[in-house]
């Protein structure tokens, strides 16, 4: 479904060059839930954006939905792949109601039955009809993230990319959103890539997980291996140990 082969992303400003992603390769099968974990500067979000075509990249092969993905995506290409951003406070247009936000993708792609689809999308993500005409500032962070997810799914794309979707949310809200994502993955038969710095979140939702550090892919392991600690790279071990919390001296 998604194939990435020797992906490189380099940002240039003036004469400074930052190699955000170096030589990353992995594949995601149809219907699979893939995770990418790393700390800041690991390049995990950049990989996602490169797949979405939001940042320029070079690769030996970059296939989305089985077809090579070009640098310039057409409107049809856009229907194949959707994105959920990290910051619920920045991903919705402040002057548009939920209704406006959800109509837009349907209007752009000239899909009929807009009203019905909007109502269904709102219900699917666990919002109430009363939320339909609210502005983002009248919604909580969790509610906004639900709108962002509804917007991503209203076109029924086969592929969903999620960039730290719950990092900005409280623990209880995070649980609701993670459950929602899990449920929707089934309902919409999605192939998804979830990026997070939180190992537990990724292990909860994903079956295979890529570990990244400093722009490189360290290894790809299954969630099972992660839980049992059967990993090959030292960095992964370090990450797992750190995620368990603090160990006191002498404890």
Partner 1 sequence: MSEPLLIVEDLNVTFPGRSGVTRAVRNASFTLGRERLGIVGESGSGKSTTGRALLGLVPPPGIVTARTMTYEGKNLLTNTERDWQALRGRRLSMVMQDPKFSLNPVRTVGQQIGETARLHLRTSRADARKRTLAMLEAVQIRDPELVFGLYPHQLSGGMGQRVMIAMMLIAEPDLLIADEPTSALDVTVQNEVLRILDDLVRERGMGLIFISHNLTVVSSFCDRVLIMYGGRIVEECAARDLHNARHPYTRALVAATPSLDVPRAELATVTRDPAWLQ
Partner 2 sequence: MTTETLGQWLMSEAPLSRRQAILGNVYRSLRAIVRNPTALAGLVIVALLILMAIFAPWLSLGQSPLDQDLAGRLAAPSAQHWFGTDELGRDIMARTIFGARVTLTIVLLVAVVVVPIGLAVGTVAGYTGGWLDAALMRITDVFLAFPRLVLALAFAAALGPGINNAVIAISLTAWPPYARIARSETLAIARSDFIQAAVLQGASTWRILFRHIVPLCLSSVIVRLTLDMAGIILTAAGLGFLGLGAQPPTAEWGAMVSSGRDVILDQWWVATIPGVAIFVVSLGFNLLGDGLRDVFDPKSNA
Q: Please identify, using beta-carbon distances, which residue of 200 and 233 lies nearer to partner 1.
A: 200
Please state whether 115 falls in left (phi above 0), alpha (psi between -120 and 50) or beta: alpha
If binding is defined by CB under 8 A, does position 186 make contact with partner 1? no
CA 226 to chain centre: 20
Candidates 146, 151, 185, 208: give the one binding partner 2 (CB under 8 A).
151
Nearest to 9 by CA among 66, 40, 48, 37: 48
If binding is defined by CB under 8 A, does position 240 make contact with partner 1? yes
If binding is defined by CB under 8 A, does position 139 make contact with partner 1? no
If binding is defined by CB under 8 A, does position 100 make contact with partner 1? no
Write out the H or E segment, with its range, that includes residue 102. Answer: helix 98-108
List C-alpha distances in Å: 97 to 1, 93, 135: 34, 8, 4
If binding is defined by CB under 8 A, does position 108 make contact with partner 2? yes
What tokens were used for 114? 């807009």
Asked if residues 67 and 228 have their Cβ atoms less than 8 Å apart, the reply is no
Nearest to 36 by CA among 235, 179, 202: 202
Write out the H or E segment, with its range, that includes residue 2. Answer: strand 2-13
| % helix, strand, coil for the chain, step of 5 | 40, 25, 35
Cβ at position 85, least distance to partner 2 in Å: 4
If binding is defined by CB under 8 A, does position 184 make contact with partner 1? no
Q: Which stretch binds partner 2 (CB under 8 A): 15-23, 98-106, 181-189, 242-250?
A: 98-106
Tell me the site size for partner 2, rule CB under 8 A.
37
Candidates 6, 29, 30, 39: give the one binding partner 1 (CB under 8 A).
39
Candidates 21, 122, 226, 231: give the one binding partner 1 (CB under 8 A).
226
Decide which of partner 2, partner 1, none touches 203; Cβ closer than 5 to 8 Å per partner kind.
partner 1
Decide which of partner 2, partner 1, none touches 87; Cβ closer than 5 to 8 Å per partner kind.
partner 2
Asked if residues 198 and 226 have their Cβ atoms less than 8 Å apart, the reply is no
Cβ at position 98, least distance to partner 1 in Å: 22
- Round to whole Å and give the CA distance between 4 and 161: 14
Q: Please identify, using beta-carbon distances, which residue of 5 and 87 lies nearer to partner 1.
A: 87
- Where along the sequence are the contacts to partner 2 (CB under 8 A)? 52, 54, 73-79, 81-83, 85-87, 90-95, 97, 99, 104-105, 108-109, 130-135, 138, 148, 151, 155
- Where along the sequence are the contacts to partner 1 (CB under 8 A)? 39-40, 170-176, 178-179, 182, 197-201, 203-204, 223, 226-227, 238-240, 242-249
């Amino acid at each position: 479904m998604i194939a990435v082969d020797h992906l490189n992303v380099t940002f240039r400003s003036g004469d400074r060059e930052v190699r955000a992603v170096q030589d990353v390769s992995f594949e995601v099968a149809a219907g699979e839930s893939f995770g990418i974990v790393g700390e800041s500067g690991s390049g995990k979000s950049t990989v996602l954006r490169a797949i979405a075509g939001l940042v320029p990249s070079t690769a030996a092969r970059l296939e989305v939905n089985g077809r090579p993905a070009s640098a310039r995506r057409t409107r049809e290409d856009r229907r194949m792949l959707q994105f959920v951003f990290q910051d619920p406070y920045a991903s919705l247009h402040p002057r548009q109601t939920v209704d406006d936000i959800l109509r837009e993708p349907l209007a752009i792609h000239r899909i009929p039955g807009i009203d019905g689809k909007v109502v269904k999308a709102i219900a699917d993500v666990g919002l109430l009809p009363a939320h339909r005409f609210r502005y983002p500032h009248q919604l909580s962070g969790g509610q906004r993230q639900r709108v962002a997810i509804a917007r991503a799914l209203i076109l029924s794309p086969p592929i969903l990319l999620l960039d730290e979707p719950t990092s900005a949310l409280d623990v209880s809200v995070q649980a609701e959103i993670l459950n929602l994502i899990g449920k929707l993955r089934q309902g919409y038969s999605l192939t998804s890539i979830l990026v997070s710095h939180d190992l537990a979140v990724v292990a909860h939702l994903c079956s295979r997980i890529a570990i990244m550090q400093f722009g490189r892919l360290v290894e790809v392991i299954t969630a099972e291996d992660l839980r049992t600690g059967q990993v090959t790279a030292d960095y992964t071990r370090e990450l797992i140990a750190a995620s368990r919390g603090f160990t006191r001296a002498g404890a």
